Amino acid sequence: MNEPFRPAKGCVTAPKGFRAAAVACDIRGHGKKGRLDLAIIASVVPCHAAGTFTTNQIKAAPVKLTRKHLRDRRAQAIVVNSGNANACTGVQGMQDAARMAEETARLLGLKPWEVLVCSTGRIGTPLPMKKVIGGIQEAAARLGDTKFSHSPKAGELAARAITTTDTKPKQVAVQFELDGKEVTIGGICKGAGMIAPGMSESGEPPALHATMLSFLTTDAAVERRTLQECLNRAVAQSFNSVTVDGDMSTNDTVLLLANGIAGNEPLSANHPALPTFQAALNHVTGELARRIARDGEGASKFITVRVTGAASNHDAQIAAHSIANSSLCKTAWYGGDSNWGRILDAVGYSPAKIVEEKADVAYNGEYVFRGGQPAKHSKKLSKILRQREFTVEVNLHLGDGAATVYTCDLTHEYVSINKAKE
């Protein structure tokens, strides 16, 4: 890569001072402890922390609790379970989320508000708290094995523990220099279905749109407000620009912990090295977001939707999302059909401004519609549409607005996955 950063081994345990542990405690209730379903990620020192959250009006208990714990933008640990979203579970759900934080804090010698809580899985079912507490106790004990809990393998196991219908864990890490100090950013995420995140710092609109969770760690020193601003920018170009099925979850959350152990001069909004940190963070979140779309439930193709020439960036974004969320477009891509009419239709019913006579549509540069009328295309088009990955390009020729959204096709397998219980 030409960027001022390079790939690093591992993920959330790659930055100095971070450790992780994952356990299987049968939260799904299958009667066996084979699948990892609970993890703790922790720093050896307090961190500055930032987060973005679902803008769904229905928010899961752990989302509400974690937003509260992040008010002073400080934290030291994250506890997360899969197999149960702890959403729409009333007063009991809030008590259970708080108990997860309290037990983790007790075992790690922290205050409860220094622990952030996340859950993912089926909505509307109370957490099996006896299993969850037992899992937290086991995970906390494993963190004590510092040789392993700081290892790349420990981070990978945490990435596996947060999955639901994902077919593989998703993890990334990069290294670079700030003020002559080596700095690392690592991240994991989960998501394959119920994916159309539209997160904001406050968890309240405005924003765009099973659950998308991502946990990011860095040993860089970054001022608290600046850290949140960096995360906001990174999420906007990554997780808020990916969609699998257009359904926004009750639990979408991205958390970023920065412990400062790298020893660089703390980054502020005007620090000359901040763009380097931002570029690295954008790369990590962007790569994780693209892996979500590639691993979409039942997906056979990864599609990049790029809209240019829009009247504004906002218009470009809503047009791109309209195309990417269209079931008709997604099934056409599955069938290898260019069907540009469906693409224009999706832009036309979006709030974005469009003038039919000016619009162009292309696949990997092969025009199918140009200047308001069908375009002759070569045999290359059918080959493009058979590829596992391709780009849909729409130029509205109305301004300088541009946006990119990542998505996947819609297959029979998606229906099969979602008609059954997780």
pLDDT, position 4? 83
Q: Give the tens place of pLDDT for each residue, 359-385.
A: 999 999 999 999 999 998 888 999 999
Q: Are 307 and 319 in contact (CB under 8 A)?
A: yes
Beta bridge partners of 389: 302
> Can you tell me the mean pLDDT for 97-125?
97
Question: Which residue has tokens 């980054």?
Answer: 267
User: Strand 389-395 relative to strand 302-310: parallel, antiparallel, unpaired?
Assistant: parallel
Domain 302-418, CATH: 3.10.20.340
The CATH architecture assigned to 6-294 reads 4-Layer Sandwich (3.60)
- Identical fold for domains 6-294 and 302-418, yes or no, is no
pLDDT, position 245? 64
Residues with a catalytic annotation lie at: 211
Lowest mean pLDDT among 209-213, 222-226, 360-364, 380-384: 209-213
Reply yes or no on whether the pLDDT at 34 is more than 90: no
Q: What is the DSSP letter of 249?
A: P
Give domain limits for the chain.
6-294, 302-418
Average pLDDT, the chain: 91
Q: Give the tens place of pLDDT for each residue, 305-323.
A: 999 999 999 999 999 999 9
Reply yes or no on whether the pLDDT at 358 is more than 90: yes
How far is Cα 43 from Cα 266, in angstroms, rounded to an integer? 18
Band (pLDDT 50/70/90 cuts) for residue 419 is low
Global pTM value: 0.90
For residues 294 and 348, the model is more confident at: 348
Reply yes or no on whether the pLDDT at 55 is more than 90: no
Lowest mean pLDDT among 54-63, 92-101, 242-251, 327-336: 242-251
Q: Is 69 helix (H, G, I), strand (E, B) or coil?
A: helix
> Can you tell me the mean pLDDT for 158-162?
97
Q: Are 60 and 253 in contact (CB under 8 A)?
A: no
Which residues lie closer than 8 Å to 282 by C-beta, 6 or more apart? 233, 234, 237, 238
How far is Cα 385 from Cα 366, in angstroms, rounded to an integer? 11
Band (pLDDT 50/70/90 cuts) for residue 247 is low
pLDDT, position 273? 96
